[in-house]
Structure 1
Amino acid sequence: MRGAFVANQLMRLADLISDQGELLLQDAGIEFPARAVSYILLIGEQREISTADIAKLLRQPHQVATQRVELLITSAIVERIADPQDGRRKILRLTPSGIEQFGRLQACLEKAARAFAGLFEEIECDMPAITRRATEALEQRSVLERVRAL
């Protein structure tokens, strides 16, 4: 029955990491929530990107991406402008405040990466590799298919 609780345990771990990530961001003077980190990274690294492109890259529903982007726009960290190549398309870019926050985020994430490397060594598990492998395996062959094969 150990496997029956895997999803619950993974959700609890994800929530714990997210909650502790919020504290880490606050300590670093970062003014946006942990759930928006991947958005800031994409916008900061790409310089200009659309909400639809973010949703596709993060494999999230467009509605979720739109909600997160609106939060960042309201916080004056991101701005939406018309695409000079295509007037119908809107692109996102960091505001001056967003650029400053992006720099803080990069420094914070460098330290967090070292802390997570220590954690993974402590628990003797390359968690990112394991979660990627599990996701890929379940995408190729679902739990239902695995049960039916028994």
Structure 2
Amino acid sequence: MTDSQFLETRAAFALRVKQLHDRLSEQLDAAMAKCGLLIPGKTTGIVQLLYSEGPRSKADIADRLRYSHQLTTQRLAWLLKHGMAETNPDPEDGRRQIVSLTPDGVEQAKILQTFLPRLQDAYSSLFSELGMDLDTEITNASRLLDTKPLADRI
């Protein structure tokens, strides 16, 4: 099988999902910037969580968003570096750091609140054009893979 033949098969599904993810991330960042958001799309889950539920540890963020601890640390690094978040020692456990939004981070979160309904509408329009609710189907696929992993399907 040649490379071009492989790309046309279902075996390349994960590659196409990654390409879609990259395209969505790039276009999301552009749309967010157009609306005055300085944060990248990859940090919106953390910003939204801290804004709506308050300060929490890195481990809590990772668990709540189902991110790896490494991914959480990478995404938090951007927020910390750009002054959107800060860490302080946990008063109950000095080994843990509690992450919270700074005033600039709160301001970005407020702008994000006006952006999110527009993003929902954009996705609804896309899913309508597709003729399927891709969000629901991805959630279902994840649930099915949790129940029976890909290795068990091969």
Question: TM-score higher than 0.5 here?
Answer: yes
**TM-score under structure 1 length normalisation:** 0.90
* 1:1-150 matched pairs, under 5 angstroms: 2-147=9-154
- The count of aligned residue pairs is 147
**Superposed structure 1 runs of 4+ greater than 4 Å apart:** none
SS at match of 1:72: helix
SS at match of 1:32: coil
**TM-score under structure 2 length normalisation:** 0.88
Partners of 2:55 and 2:150 lie apart in 1 by: 39
- Deviation, structure 1 residue 8: 1.2
Percentage identity across paired residues of the two chains: 32
Structure 2 unaligned regions, length at least 5: 1-7
Partners of 1:118 and 1:54 lie apart in 2 by: 30
Q: Per-residue CA shift, 1:48-91, capped at 9, x if unaligned?
A: 11111111122222122112212211111111122233333221
Return the letter of the residue paired with 1:91: I
